[in-house]
Amino acid sequence: MRALLSTIPVVCFLALPLASLAQSIDYDPRRPDELKSCDDHEYRGREGDAQECYTRVLNGPYTAVTRAEAAWRLGDLQRANRLFRDAVRGNQRLIHARVRWARLFVETHQYADAQTLLREALELSPSDVYGRLALAHLYAERFDGQAKAIVEQVLGEDDRNYEAHLLAARMLLEEGQLDEADASLDRAAKSTPDGLPPLELYSARATLDLARGRDSATMVKNTWVTRALNYNPRYGMVFDDLAHFEVMRRRYREATPLLRKAIEVQPDLWSAHADLGANLLRQGQIEEARQHLQTAYSGDPYSPTIVNTLRLLDRVDEVDVSSNKFTLPASGETASTDVEILLRLNRKEAGALHPYVLELARDSVITFSRRYGYRPTEPLTVELYPNHDDFAVRVAALPGIGLLGVTFGPLVVMDSPSGRASGDFHWGTTLWHEMAHVFTLSMTDNRVPRWLSEGVSVFEEWRTGPVPGVVVPPEAIAALRAKKFLSVADLDSGFIRPQYPDQVQVSYMQAGLICLFIEQRWGFEQLPVLLRQFNREISTKDAIEATFKVPVKEFDEQFDAFVRQRYSTALARFDEWQRAATLARKSVEGEQWQAVIDSARTAIAIFPEDIASDSPYLLLAKSLDKTGQREQAIDALTRYRQAGGWDPHALRQLAEWLEAAGQSMAATEALAAVNYGDPLNSQQHLKLGEQWLEAGRAEDSLREFEVLLALDAHDPATAHFGMARAFRAQGDLQASRRHLLDALETAPHYKPAQSLLLQMIEERQE
């Protein structure tokens, strides 16, 4: 038992005011009777009476667990922790104490410790219902699919478990399964235990009403909200829950007044302060966000999300903000529209990234406005973070998450290319993907379901992005083969609560393929029509049926036939593809070039969309080059690029080979494409600057030399000299002279610059 106990770290808690942390209602019938009268005061919002009652219990002749619960309710978490620990040490087979102690850890955001305690409890008693439900809550918090299985198991044993029904309903609400959530809440209502408050049931009912299309502005007068507040006038959680649901649906603007209401009703509801702070940040209201986060921190100093976000805000002066405006021309009946794009880039790399980020963001607005018939009505903001952990804090307030980019309405937040190793991700495609979200979210007032928003973004990556080409990884083909694709009506659950490791990635691909299917089957113009169905509250099933006039089941069947036809070769010969791809990789290691060529060609023929880092195209190109077949090697890399391949090393290699083969323009274009994958390479900009200049494209050349100057503080003379020549080619002799003198100021003996200076003087004298 000591071993078990030793796994729990000693936690130092600080005393906090009563109700400082949002404690969920304890439905466990093992809750000590001595607490029940105190709980009643608490649940009814009679704060003074509750405090007096819990204090009496804390100082009374009761068990350590009972007193721990009282200390917890009084906000003395340190004492509660100590009492729980003493209780468990005193009786190593205590189960209920472990479960409750774990809940205390959950409240202080120490999820790993909570999980360890729950595992210990369940080792002692695997069937403990409230231990399992506590674990399910823990999983549900993290959107882990295991939560559902536990709840189903508990309800399978006892269909009248109130807490299980409530948790099931919450997960169903998050997934948009409204009818099922409604049924769960009905069953919960029939199972309400005597003496326990119906507050969470009322709150869930209110959320269901909101999900079914009630305007969030009217929720203050909603029946269930009124009932909750009649029961407990200090029950701010009812608004916090509503706001949580709005945030889940990316309706950040609508969540804000609900969070303000939560704080108004319950000023010490620290979770609502934290949520409001995070939500205001998403809307760019940094100062007010900071105030609420500081308030939240004053009451909940254990939350890493709050601390991390405040630390990030302390470094706000590291960001360079630029406002960039342009006009979308009039089209049909639509007048011309002014669009503003705010770029928030780290000062250290703003100069290097600004031209490319702005160009892509602007192109995306032009492209999506045209394709979807919608124009932005408010400024768009793009933020890039060179430190991935800062990005992770910005979007979820926790470092270490694996996302690349996130869109909050008109705000796009993503990793900077410097935030990851070269070749790790294609930042241009990520930005394109996120900008598509800006449109799908805005044009549906954030009602678009997750699958469709992701699907359109993936589809637009393929159709209009900086690296066109339909790219579906083998994992998606394997899932298709294993019949793991979901019905379109259920596809959101593949994103929200995945059931197998690759499911989120597979769901992205399936969503993209559904959009491709719509384009192929009904024409692209039906995709915006489908999107507009979500201008109102409507289920995916109803939206599909309204748009395409087919039952959703038939839609699924047609999509399945489409995708199976499209990938018929890969599906039929998947094992052969795997063998060929594996053999190609192994043969490269052994430098058996002919074997690589043969197997890579087989793999490409079966599944030409595999452009992963060890893609057969890359192995084929290398082997062909090694065997003196440079022309065919160029062809292999060209086909790789056409299929959507973007690996910076491969494209640089292609550019080098093309240059050597005398195909200068193709070489320059291949190298220029690398800027959207790996733009922070000074040699690349130097080369491109020279090549564009030689090709007579002075504007492109100038951009490359400007970036070189921003990127390479080590050698400004070269960049200034390049800019001098680019300006000269554009006919701007004054700017040319200035940059030429800047180059020579740094490097007075720079002979090419000296030559140009003398030439400039001679021309002036003529």
Partner 1 sequence: MAAAAKVGTAVKRWATGDRLLAAGKARAASTQWFFAGAVLLASGVSADTYSLVVSGLGGEPGYEQRFSEQAEKIAAASRNLTGSEATTTLLTGAKADRESVRRELRSLAAKAGPDDEVIITLIGHGTFDGEQYRFNLPGPDLTAAELGTLFDALRARRQLIVNATSASGAVVDSWKREQRLVITATKSGGERTATRFAEHWVSALTSLEADTNKDDIITATEAFEYATRKVTESFKSDALLATEHSRLSGENAGRFQVARMGTAARVTSDPAMNEMYAQRVRIERELDAVKERKASMVVDAYYDELEGVLVRLAQLQRQIDAKQPAGRE
Residue 483 contacts partner 1 per CB under 8 A: no
Give the sign of the dihedral formed by CA 328, CA 334, CA 337, CA 342: negative
Which of the stretches 25-33, 438-446, 462-470, 736-744 binds partner 1 when contact is defined by CB under 8 A? Answer: 736-744
Give the sign of the dihedral formed by CA 34, CA 38, CA 43, CA 44: positive
Is 376 within 8 Å of 410 (Cβ atoms)?
Answer: yes
Residue 751 contacts partner 1 per CB under 8 A: yes
Tokens of 268: 């010490």
State in angstroms the smallest separation of the CB of 709 from partner 1: 13
Closer residue to partner 1, CB minimum distance, 470 or 741:
741
Number of residues in contact with partner 1 under rule CB under 8 A: 25
Q: What residues numbered 691-730 form the site for partner 1, per CB under 8 A?
A: 714-717
Tokens of 351: 């100069």
Is 692 within 8 Å of 701 (Cβ atoms)?
Answer: yes
Closer residue to partner 1, CB minimum distance, 221 or 751:
751
Closer residue to partner 1, CB minimum distance, 95 or 753:
753
Q: Given the structure tokens 């074997």, which residue do they identify?
A: 595
Q: Determine how many CB atoms are found less than 10 A away from the CB of residue 740.
A: 25
Helix (H) or strand (E) run with residue 652 in it: helix 648-660
The Cα-based distances of 193 to 52, 162, 198 in angstroms read: 26, 7, 9
State in angstroms the smallest separation of the CB of 675 from partner 1: 17
3-state SS of 304-352? HHHHHHHHHHCCHHHEEEEEEEEEECCECCECCEEEEEEEEEEHHHHHH
Which of the stretches 29-37, 266-274, 378-386, 420-428 binds partner 1 when contact is defined by CB under 8 A? Answer: 420-428
State in angstroms the smallest separation of the CB of 751 from partner 1: 6
Residue 766 contacts partner 1 per CB under 8 A: no
Is 264 within 8 Å of 271 (Cβ atoms)?
Answer: no
Closer residue to partner 1, CB minimum distance, 530 or 753:
753
Closer residue to partner 1, CB minimum distance, 301 or 716:
716
Closer residue to partner 1, CB minimum distance, 155 or 757:
757
Tell me the residue type at 506.
V
What would the x/- binding string for partner 1 be over residues 422 to 461, using CB under 8 A?
A: x-x-------------------------------------
Q: How far apart are CA 716 and CA 180, in angstroms?
A: 64
Residue 749 contacts partner 1 per CB under 8 A: yes
Phi then psi dihedrals of residue 592, to 5 deg: -95, 80
State in angstroms the smallest separation of the CB of 691 from partner 1: 19
State in angstroms the smallest separation of the CB of 322 from partner 1: 24
Helix (H) or strand (E) run with residue 528 in it: helix 526-533
Q: How far apart are CA 367 and CA 516, in angstroms?
A: 17
Closer residue to partner 1, CB minimum distance, 172 or 753:
753
Tokens of 345: 């880039």
Which of the stretches 15-23, 347-355, 360-368, 417-425 binds partner 1 when contact is defined by CB under 8 A? Answer: 417-425
Picking from 714, 661, 724, the residue whose alpha carbon sits closest to that of residue 689 is 724
The Cα-based distances of 478 to 257, 435, 471, 515, 559 in angstroms read: 45, 29, 14, 20, 17
Q: What residues numbered 134-173 form the site for partner 1, per CB under 8 A?
A: none
DSSP three-state, residue 424:
coil
Residue 758 contacts partner 1 per CB under 8 A: yes
State in angstroms the smallest separation of the CB of 667 from partner 1: 22
State in angstroms the smallest separation of the CB of 101 from partner 1: 37
Residue 526 contacts partner 1 per CB under 8 A: no
Among 29, 259, 744, 765, binds partner 1 (CB under 8 A): 744
Is 239 within 8 Å of 247 (Cβ atoms)?
Answer: no
Residue 754 contacts partner 1 per CB under 8 A: yes
Among 314, 338, 614, 745, binds partner 1 (CB under 8 A): 745
Is 651 within 8 Å of 673 (Cβ atoms)?
Answer: yes
Closer residue to partner 1, CB minimum distance, 188 or 753:
753
Closer residue to partner 1, CB minimum distance, 476 or 753:
753
Among 160, 755, 763, 766, binds partner 1 (CB under 8 A): 755
Which of the stretches 187-195, 298-306, 433-441, 751-759 binds partner 1 when contact is defined by CB under 8 A? Answer: 751-759
Give the angle 271-274-276 at the CA atoms, nearest 5°.
110
Tokens of 216: 């969030």
Closer residue to partner 1, CB minimum distance, 433 or 737:
737
Q: What residues numbered 283-312 form the site for partner 1, per CB under 8 A?
A: none
Residue 746 contacts partner 1 per CB under 8 A: yes
Q: What residues numbered 364-403 form the site for partner 1, per CB under 8 A?
A: none
Residue 750 contacts partner 1 per CB under 8 A: yes
Among 737, 763, 765, 766, binds partner 1 (CB under 8 A): 737
Helix axes 111-124, 129-141, angle to 10 degrees: 150
Tokens of 267: 């000023």
Distance of CA 466 to the CA centre of its chain: 21
Closer residue to partner 1, CB minimum distance, 628 or 752:
752
Q: How far apart are CA 260 and CA 276, in angstroms?
A: 7
Closer residue to partner 1, CB minimum distance, 327 or 734:
734
Give the angle 714-716-719 at the CA atoms, nearest 5°.
125
Which of the stretches 421-429, 527-535, 546-554, 653-661 binds partner 1 when contact is defined by CB under 8 A? Answer: 421-429
Which of the stretches 73-81, 544-552, 593-601, 737-745 binds partner 1 when contact is defined by CB under 8 A? Answer: 737-745
Closer residue to partner 1, CB minimum distance, 422 or 558:
422
State in angstroms the smallest separation of the CB of 712 from partner 1: 9
The Cα-based distances of 322 to 360, 407, 484 in angstroms read: 15, 19, 45
Tokens of 647: 């690996």
Q: How far apart are CA 365 and CA 343, in angstroms?
A: 14
Is 32 within 8 Å of 69 (Cβ atoms)?
Answer: yes
State in angstroms the smallest separation of the CB of 754 from partner 1: 4
Which of the stretches 52-60, 426-434, 652-660, 746-754 binds partner 1 when contact is defined by CB under 8 A? Answer: 746-754
Residue 741 contacts partner 1 per CB under 8 A: yes
DSSP 94-161: -SHHHHHHHHHHHHTT-HHHHHHHHHHHHHH-TT-HHHHHHHHHHHHHTT-THHHHHHHHHHHH-TT-
Residue 358 contacts partner 1 per CB under 8 A: no
Among 9, 29, 523, 752, binds partner 1 (CB under 8 A): 752
Closer residue to partner 1, CB minimum distance, 424 or 502:
424
Closer residue to partner 1, CB minimum distance, 378 or 745:
745
Q: Is 748 exposed, middle or buried (0-12, 13-18, 19+ CB in 10 A)?
A: exposed
Which of the stretches 59-67, 240-248, 548-556, 744-752 binds partner 1 when contact is defined by CB under 8 A? Answer: 744-752
Q: Given the structure tokens 């959950």, which residue do they identify?
A: 106
State in angstroms the smallest separation of the CB of 432 from partner 1: 25
Residue 757 contacts partner 1 per CB under 8 A: yes
Closer residue to partner 1, CB minimum distance, 545 or 742:
742
Closer residue to partner 1, CB minimum distance, 489 or 686:
686
The conformation of residue 766, written as its DSSP 8-state character, comes to: -
State in angstroms the smallest separation of the CB of 727 from partner 1: 14
Q: Determine how many CB atoms are found less than 10 A away from the CB of residue 52.
A: 12
Q: How far apart are CA 566 and CA 519, in angstroms?
A: 14
- Interface with partner 1 (CB under 8 A): 421-422, 424, 714-717, 737-738, 741, 744-755, 757-758, 761
